[in-house]
């Protein structure tokens, strides 16, 4: 502790980092810093993309349209030594023949079949509900 300054931890951390990089060869220190900055940048970009997508979806109108289910797929992420996550997607076809895909909850994925006709409610890329028309 440095007594009266009250910032005892900041001085120790700064001098520790300076001591570490003082003893490390430049050919190691530069790649270390570059890789560290790249990792931080990737996290920042991911967070920014997620927030911007959320803001975009939130600004969209909630739409309900007649559609036909034209396809289904699953995407599994992870595995090997890590846990896995499965994402479920359904492709909907509007009356003008245009198609778009939405991520849907597992429960909805299981009860919606290809060829189903119904009313889809969605907001941007957020799936809300699908009511089958028999």
Give every CB contact of residue 13 below 8 A, 6+ residues apart in sequence. Answer: none
More confident position, 16 or 94: 94
pLDDT in tens, 48-73: 999 999 999 999 999 999 999 999 99
Residue 33 CA to residue 27 CA, distance in Å, equals 11
pLDDT, tens digit (0-9, with 9 covering 90-100), for 116-125: 999 999 999 9
* Helix then strand then coil, % of the chain, to nearest 5: 40, 35, 20
How far is the C-alpha of 32 from the C-alpha of 124, rounded, in Å?
Answer: 41
Residue 126 CA to residue 104 CA, distance in Å, equals 8
Round the average pLDDT of the chain to a whole number and report it.
88
Give the C-alpha separation, 24 to 115, whole Å.
64
pTM over 0.75: no
């Amino acid at each position: 502790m440095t007594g009266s300054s009250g910032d005892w931890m900041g001085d120790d951390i700064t001098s520790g980092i300076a001591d570490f990089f003082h003893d490390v060869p430049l050919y190691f220190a530069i790649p270390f810093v570059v890789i560290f900055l790249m990792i931080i940048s990737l996290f920042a970009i991911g967070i920014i993309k997620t927030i911007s997508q959320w803001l975009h979806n939130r600004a969209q109108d909630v739409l309900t349209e007649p559609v036909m289910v034209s396809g289904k797929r699953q995407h599994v992420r992870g595995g090997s030594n890590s846990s896995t996550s499965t994402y479920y997607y359904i492709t909907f076809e509007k009356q003008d023949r245009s198609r778009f895909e939405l991520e849907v909850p597992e429960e909805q994925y299981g009860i919606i079949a290809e060829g189903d006709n119904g009313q889809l409610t969605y907001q941007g890329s957020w799936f809300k509900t699908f009511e089958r028309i028999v």
